[in-house]
Amino acid sequence: MASPPAPLDAQSMSPVPSPMTAPSFAAPSLLRSGWRRLPHPIRWLGVAIAGGSVVLTGVVLLVLPGPGIPLILLGLVILATEFAWAQRTLHHVRHRSSKVLSTIARRSTRKEPCP
């Protein structure tokens, strides 16, 4: 037996997805709200373990071949969700990196001296 055709969206005239086939975007928000409902020491410990392990992996990958600096920055972002010192460090890193990038851009666009 054939199923009835899907209803059409009035504006785009495309089939409206049924709730069974529509992607669920509520899961991340439920996860986030569930995370916030945890007691603060458990959140703190989870963030400390996750962020610290990512930072330590990044430090190891500074010596070994791999993306060390991006992992250290990712670890700081994770730690900054719960720790003020990590937020300050991340702000300092962003500020310094923007200054370094502007200096590099300024030096790379220098005009050559005329002979």
pLDDT of 71? 94
Domain ranges of the chain: 40-107
Structure-token pair, residue 76: 């700081």
Calculate Rg over the CA atoms of the chain. Answer: 24
Residue 14 pLDDT exceeds 60: no
* Total number of residues shown for the chain: 115
Banded pLDDT at 75 (limits 50, 70, 90) = very high
User: Terminus-to-terminus CA distance in the chain, angstroms?
Assistant: 85
pTM of the model: 0.60
